Chain A
Amino acid sequence: MMHSSQTFTAFMTKVAIVHVAVLLLLVGASRSYGAADQQALSAEETYKLGERMYREGILPSGEPMQAFVSGDVPVSGTSFTCVSCHLRSGLGSIEGEVSTPPANGRILYLPREPYIKGYEHVPSYHNYAVYFPTRPAYTDDTLAELITSGVDPAGRSVIKAMPIYDLNDQDMAILIAYLKTLSAQPSPGVSDSEIKFATVIVEGTDPVAVASMLAPLEFGIARKNSLTTASSANDRVARMGYNMLGPDLLQKKFSLTRWVLKGPSSTWRSQLDAYYQAEPVFALLGGISAGDWEPVHRFCEENQIPDLLPIVDYPVISDHDWYTLYFSRGVRQEGESAARYLHGMYDLIKDRAIVQVSRDSREGRALADGFRATWADTGHPAAIDIVLKEGEQFSQQRLQQIITELKPAALIVWDDGAALEAFAGLPDMADRPGVILASGTFVGKALWTIPEQLRGLLSFTYPYRLPQDDIRFDALALKVLPGKKTSDYDQKIIRQSYITNELLGKALMDMRGEYYRDFFFDTIGMMPDAYYPLYERVGFGPGQRYASKGCFIVQLGKGENPQLERRSEWVTR
């Protein structure tokens, strides 16, 4: 194996000296990368091995792939590999001025024109092809040559941005076989005339919440479908629709089915399987649950069905799962940000105690877990944990006892609004903790009723843009509720679903007719951060799965109609 510290020049010189004579004899030898080379492997094994090269940079032998970038920089496949640049779908990426073309067989084995066929006249279409010169179609041989030497079939060198790889014939055959499977067959749920979506609703969820999740999605879909209908009758509409959406997306109607899950969450999986079997959809949009979501997440993972932004408090937290994009890390995220915030002021806390009081409920546990994990990550000894059992009130006496016995420098209370009563006597207490933190969302409406003398003493995690700053998005939210009263809806959920609708539209327009599930999320991963309602910043980045990643620390301001006031910048975990 090539040692990675070896420079490219040294490698080439050695190759040249030892082998030039032999090479000259072999120039005419022909090679093939067809299935014949891999008799020993089943199609499934070949696929898995190819996927491992493409996604993890590991050769079938288990060794890392070896590459050179920018002509002479040696790099191991475990630092990065094909997927880092060509993305999961193989359909490429665009970042700033650097564009990476598709690397899937279907597109490689066609000549590249300056335009994507069928989209020559669609101004809104994102066209990677303009960044690259034309080239003839690849064959197995010229593709292998590109990968090992960086010369494309037009004779152009691509080594400035594309690494070259040291692969033997068998490994090359496996890799090429994998490239041929990438984004090869259109994903289920898409036909010439339709794209099918579904949304998962857990029965028993607050009907206002459900209606608020559905309204923006249904509005978006109805608007799209009426454009399609109108354009078949009216030339001007047709031209406008064509310019905006291209011929293909314009003619497709969208549908959204509701998949309602009943009963205990242990039975959801079979319900989901049945729904899916009856109607294979391209993707899930939104979805809503006040509690569990894990079975839906697993269903999507195993069937490779994207779910765009379900409205849930308890998302599955994972570094490697792919098929669900969440708004945030859920309730837990406030606990994580609280830990990060305290870490930032650790100079004030030093060796003094930190006490975390948490309600023994799903919400309390999620917050406490988030805090604990991030607090440990930042290298601090564990906080003192106090758990409030069901029915146990966080009282003034309990607070007094904690302060007297433990003298904490910081006190965190993960409980609902009723716990705020414990703080009534706080202004007069000796040895008050320097920081008292609670969750703005768990405390809920009680946040707005905190008496004046306590407002400067209690701080809250708040995972959204402050309400007074979000007012400017009210008009947008209204747009998706034509003829309806906004007050009939949940303001937070309307805003969330508004974002889902926006991202869906933008993604489909950027996908240039390539309806592949992996490309759907690759495309969203490449979108610039955007300023949307509710969240300070919504951005994914390739492979990222939680759009909004932090909190503000806030206090309630003074006066009769107080506003929330920021006590921190946006604190991430």
Chain B
Amino acid sequence: MMVQRLTRMPRIFTILLAILLMAGSDAGASKYKRSIENVVIPDVVLVNQQGEKVRLKSLLESDQPVLVDFIYATCTTICPILSAGFANFQRELGPETKNARLVSITIDPENDTPAAMKEYLERYQAQPGWDFLTGSRQDVDRVMKAFNAYFRSKMDHQPLSFIRSQEDGKWIRLYGLMSSSDLMKEFQQRGGK
């Protein structure tokens, strides 16, 4: 694999250098804000990428750990990074993927039809266990408000992820574009462990 041609190496070297330099500063390190929240999930019925109705409460308050984020299919910068994080999270869990439920909720329900959401998940090679939900504007607004993640317009979007511990039902709220290792670390530490 990889470096077949010598001419590429100097650049690879710069990557190494960058990593070394970064260790000493926080320039590239992913900084994010973390808090613990009580979230009262509204009793709404949303629709997933298969067009199936999903009762959000039952989906989220399960005996599996749950990760939630708010995205939309045509979003720039924030969603690509959040979704790459979810996709990689599933890859890293590997066969254990079924032990964690990933739920992306659209903040652009007018545009994100089941077909658009399905296409989006395929683009990120999502595995079973990662659902993308849409619904009426009113229901989606209620969900965003419950998570203290209300965006008046999709263009006010912020990078937010949430992790629920099945043990105490508390949610960890994570604000920022996170690295994969930080997301995994937060996942493993959920429930105060």
Using a CB–CB distance below 8 Å, which chain A residues touch chain B?
Answer: 1-5, 7, 11-12, 14-16, 18-20, 22-23, 26-27, 29, 31, 69-76, 78-80, 84-85, 87, 93, 95-98, 100, 144-145, 148-151, 155-161, 164, 166, 168-169, 343, 377-379, 525-529, 537, 539, 541-544, 548-550, 569-570, 572-573
Q: Which residues of B contact A148 (CB under 8 A)?
A: 11-12, 14-15
CB under 8 Å from chain A, chain B span 52-82:
72, 74-78, 80-81
**Known pairs A80-B80, A544-B111; A74 contacts B88 (CB<8 A):** yes
Give chain A's interface secondary structure class.
Answer: loop
Which of B33-41, B150-158, B165-173 is found at the contact surface with chain A?
B150-158
Complex contact A96–B155 (CB within 8 A): yes
CB < 8 Å: which of B137, B158, B177, B179 contacts A570?
B137
C-alpha gap A159/B87 in the complex (Å): 18
Complex contact B27–A70 (CB within 8 A): no
C-alpha gap A15/B2 in the complex (Å): 9
Q: Which residues of B contact A3 (CB under 8 A)?
A: 1
Complex contact B110–A539 (CB within 8 A): yes
C-alpha gap A539/B154 in the complex (Å): 9
**Known pairs A26-B6, A71-B30; A151 contacts B14 (CB<8 A):** yes
C-alpha gap A570/B80 in the complex (Å): 28
Q: Which residues of A contact B155 (CB under 8 A)?
A: 95-96, 526-529
Supplied contacts A69-B81, A161-B177, 6 more A-B pairs, CB within 8 Å: A72-B181, A73-B85, A98-B78, A98-B157, A157-B27, A570-B136
C-alpha gap A548/B12 in the complex (Å): 47
B146 at the interface (CB under 8 A from A): no
Complex contact A573–B123 (CB within 8 A): no
What is the minimal beta-carbon distance from A54 to any residue of chain B, in angstroms? 14
Report the tally of A-B residue pairs with Cβ distances under 8 A.
Answer: 214
Q: Which residues of B contact A528 (CB under 8 A)?
A: 152-156
Determine the residue in chain B with the shortest Cβ distance to A522: B76
C-alpha gap A138/B170 in the complex (Å): 47
Complex contact B7–A542 (CB within 8 A): no
Q: Which residues of A contact B75 (CB under 8 A)?
A: 95, 541-542
**Known pairs A93-B77, A377-B51; A160 contacts B7 (CB<8 A):** no
B180 at the interface (CB under 8 A from A): yes
B108 at the interface (CB under 8 A from A): yes
Complex contact B13–A79 (CB within 8 A): no
**Known pairs A72-B180, A378-B51; A19 contacts B156 (CB<8 A):** no
Complex contact A541–B180 (CB within 8 A): no
**Known pairs A70-B30, A157-B21, A161-B81; A79 contacts B76 (CB<8 A):** no
Q: Which residues of B contact A569 (CB under 8 A)?
A: 136-138
* 22 interchain pairs, CB-CB under 8 A: A2-B1, A12-B19, A18-B3, A26-B9, A29-B10, A70-B81, A70-B84, A70-B85, A72-B181, A73-B85, A74-B88, A95-B155, A98-B78, A144-B11, A148-B14, A149-B17, A151-B18, A156-B27, A343-B51, A378-B114, A526-B155, A537-B137
C-alpha gap A50/B171 in the complex (Å): 44
**Known pairs A2-B2, A19-B12, A73-B84; A159 contacts B18 (CB<8 A):** yes
C-alpha gap A302/B52 in the complex (Å): 39
CB < 8 Å: which of A26, A85, A168 contacts B10?
A26
C-alpha gap A476/B102 in the complex (Å): 45
What is the minimal beta-carbon distance from B177 to any residue of chain A, in angstroms? 6
**Known pairs A71-B179, A539-B110; A96 contacts B156 (CB<8 A):** yes
What is the minimal beta-carbon distance from B71 to any residue of chain A, in angstroms? 11
**Known pairs A73-B85, A96-B155; A85 contacts B77 (CB<8 A):** yes
C-alpha gap A166/B31 in the complex (Å): 25
Complex contact B74–A75 (CB within 8 A): no
What is the minimal beta-carbon distance from A41 to any residue of chain B, in angstroms? 18
C-alpha gap A111/B3 in the complex (Å): 33
Q: Which residues of B contact A379 (CB under 8 A)?
A: 51
Complex contact B28–A150 (CB within 8 A): yes
C-alpha gap A166/B155 in the complex (Å): 31
C-alpha gap A97/B83 in the complex (Å): 18
B159 at the interface (CB under 8 A from A): yes
C-alpha gap A4/B84 in the complex (Å): 11
Q: Which residues of B contact A85 (CB under 8 A)?
A: 76-77, 80
What is the minimal beta-carbon distance from A57 to any residue of chain B, in angstroms? 10
Q: Mark B123-166, 1 if CB is under 8 A from A, else 0.
A: 11100000000001110000000000001111111110000000
Q: Which residues of B contact A27 (CB under 8 A)?
A: 10, 13
B48 at the interface (CB under 8 A from A): no
C-alpha gap A23/B16 in the complex (Å): 11
Q: Which residues of B contact A74 (CB under 8 A)?
A: 88
C-alpha gap A548/B85 in the complex (Å): 31
Q: Which residues of A contact B104 (CB under 8 A)?
A: none
Q: Which residues of B contact A78 (CB under 8 A)?
A: 123
Complex contact B16–A12 (CB within 8 A): yes
CB under 8 Å from chain A, chain B span 90-107:
91-92
What is the minimal beta-carbon distance from B81 to any residue of chain A, in angstroms? 5
B5 at the interface (CB under 8 A from A): yes
Complex contact B1–A23 (CB within 8 A): no
Most buried by A among B15, B75, B124, B177: B15
CB < 8 Å: which of A149, A378, A525 contacts B11?
A149
Complex contact A100–B179 (CB within 8 A): no
Most buried by B among A18, A69, A169, A526: A69
Complex contact B9–A16 (CB within 8 A): no
Complex contact B153–A168 (CB within 8 A): no
Q: Which residues of A contact B80 (CB under 8 A)?
A: 69, 75, 79-80, 84-85
**Known pairs A69-B84, A157-B22, A569-B136; A84 contacts B10 (CB<8 A):** no
B178 at the interface (CB under 8 A from A): yes
B8 at the interface (CB under 8 A from A): yes
C-alpha gap A541/B116 in the complex (Å): 14
Determine the residue in chain B with the shortest Cβ distance to A145: B14
Most buried by B among A96, A528, A529, A542: A96
C-alpha gap A529/B80 in the complex (Å): 21
Q: Which residues of B contact A87 (CB under 8 A)?
A: 76
CB < 8 Å: which of A12, A20, A23, A161 contacts B77?
A161
Q: Which residues of B contact A529 (CB under 8 A)?
A: 153-155
Q: Which residues of A contact B13 (CB under 8 A)?
A: 23, 26-27
C-alpha gap A78/B22 in the complex (Å): 28
Complex contact A70–B137 (CB within 8 A): no
Determine the residue in chain B with the shortest Cβ distance to A169: B7
What is the minimal beta-carbon distance from A424 to any residue of chain B, in angstroms? 35
Determine the residue in chain B with the shortest Cβ distance to A23: B13
